[in-house]
Amino acid sequence: MTNSNQEKKSWAEEAVSFIKTLAFILAIAVGLRTCVIEPFKIPSGSMKNTLQIGDYILVLKFWYGLRLPYVTNSVAEWNAPKRADVVVFTRPNDPNTPGEDDSEIHIIKRVIGLPGDTVEIKSGEQGGGTVLINGQPIEEPYARWVDRGPNEGRPWGPKTVPPGHVLLLGDNRDQSKDSRFWTDPFLDIRRIKGKAVIIFWSWDKFSRIGTVIR
């Protein structure tokens, strides 16, 4: 075999090896994004001050269970959402939003009501409001009631969360369209895509990068 032929064979082998390595890396990346972790961008101010418009966050998709591509509901569950978890989810189409395909929109809110909880929101005398769970007010250091938006002073409930569901609210209570506005206020837990864990980029303040979401 001539040197020329040997060089051609060596180049071909290296090219095949490179393609195999690249395919393997891409498969790992797709697998991680599909089942383990996925980035999301915050599109609105409904979660202020916890999350700002333009924040980029990482969501752990395996936190509550296993999800597969193009499958709406999780296929296996091993961890239940806890109160105050910040989660990303989709919800069924709602008659209140006829121009949108709600099942294709990723939404981020905070879990407030758990299965069996009776949830009520009372208006505050000086504005704002108080969330009661089973008749008792809860501490919410993350909640913001100061925007004087369309939701200000709007009482809600009491309503009881059914089994296998949760009730979700935005932290910016006066500017969040959440469980209080949906035709069915309760979300099937299987529609939760994952738990928001960290801000990995922020156009608001660089100091927010690396902030753990609580």
Residues forming the active site? 46, 109
Identify the sign of the CA torsion 117, 121, 125, 126.
positive
In angstroms, how far is CA 33 from the centroid of its own chain? 14
**Can you tell me the distance from the alpha carbon of 213 to that of 49, in angstroms, rounded to the nearest whole number?**
11
Question: Within 13 Å of residue 99, how many CA atoms lie on the same side as its CB?
Answer: 0
**Can you tell me the distance from the alpha carbon of 161 to that of 29, in angstroms, rounded to the nearest whole number?**
37
